[in-house]
Amino acid sequence: MLSARNIDFSYGQLQVLFDISLEVHKGEALALLGTNGAGKSTLLRVIAGLETPSAGTVTFAGREITGVPAERLATEGLALIPGGRSIFTDMTVEENLEMQALHLRKQRALVRERTELVLATFPSLAQRLSQPAGRLSGGEQQQLALAKALLLDPDLLCIDELSLGLAPVVVSELLEIVRRLHESGITLLVVEQSLNIAAQLCDRAVFLEKGQVRFEGRTVDLLEQDDIARAVFFGGAVTSSNGSAAAPRRRRSAPLSAPGRN
């Protein structure tokens, strides 16, 4: 469903992604793991069209989407729930949903159908339609973020740090909701810092460190990689076989142009 090939990305002169490649298969849930600053969220932003890579290509559903704006991708089946607040806190729950469906405003029957589905999936939100979103609990705000994404009827849902700053019991409730969405046929790409949370949801994982892929395979196999597990839980660097910290590839002398990029 999704393929990222040889992705480089820089913020100004600072390169943060180095030749990253990954695939997300239709119907799977893939975890994108790594410590703070590993490049997880940046890669997700590149995939979702919020950033354009300096090199490499992104393909979605058989079509190259490198550099295609996020708002266009969101209407074509690729939706992103960004990290932090992804809701309008000064608007009501109902207004948040209405804003999300603006591109469908001429298809009232479809909007009504999707809204009913969303509120059936998130019954607590249905009871708070007139409440300002900023007054919802942290877990309810994340439910609203999920609800807004579901309203887009995505084929691929990218989620950045769903569990960030939430109590374990709230995270468990959200994971159950996301699991049901996955079982309904939505493909998932999930950025997480918690290896345990990722293992509950995803069968396969990609681990990033310093902008490079250090591991790709089954999540259960990642759990057995002691050096990576320590990096996730304690924020240390993954070490090479001789015990030294692995270093990222050097920045290329000049950025490359992405194939097909305008």
Is residue 82 in some structural domain? no
For residues 63 and 15, state if they share a domain. yes
The residue out of 152, 168, 199 marking a domain boundary is 152
The model's confidence at residue 246, banded by pLDDT at 50, 70 and 90, is very low
Please spell the DSSP secondary structure of 62-112, one letter per residue: TEE-TT--HHHHHTTTEEEE-SS--S-TTSBHHHHHHHHTGGGTT-HHHHH
Number of structural domains the chain divides into: 2
Closest C-alpha to 34, from 200, 171, 190? 190
Predicted pLDDT of residue 201: 92
For residues 68 and 178, state if they share a domain. yes
Query: Can you give the pTM of this predicted structure?
Result: 0.83
Predicted pLDDT of residue 61: 94
Rounded CA-CA distance 11/73 in Å is: 23
Task: Please give the residue range of the domain that contains residue 106.
Answer: 87-152
pLDDT tens-digit readout, 164-188:
888 889 999 999 999 999 999 999 9
Closest C-alpha to 189, from 4, 55, 12, 9? 4
Instruction: Give the dihedral sign, CA 209/214/216/220.
Output: negative
The model's confidence at residue 148, banded by pLDDT at 50, 70 and 90, is very high
Predicted pLDDT of residue 218: 93
For residues 166 and 65, state if they share a domain. yes
For residues 168 and 235, state if they share a domain. yes
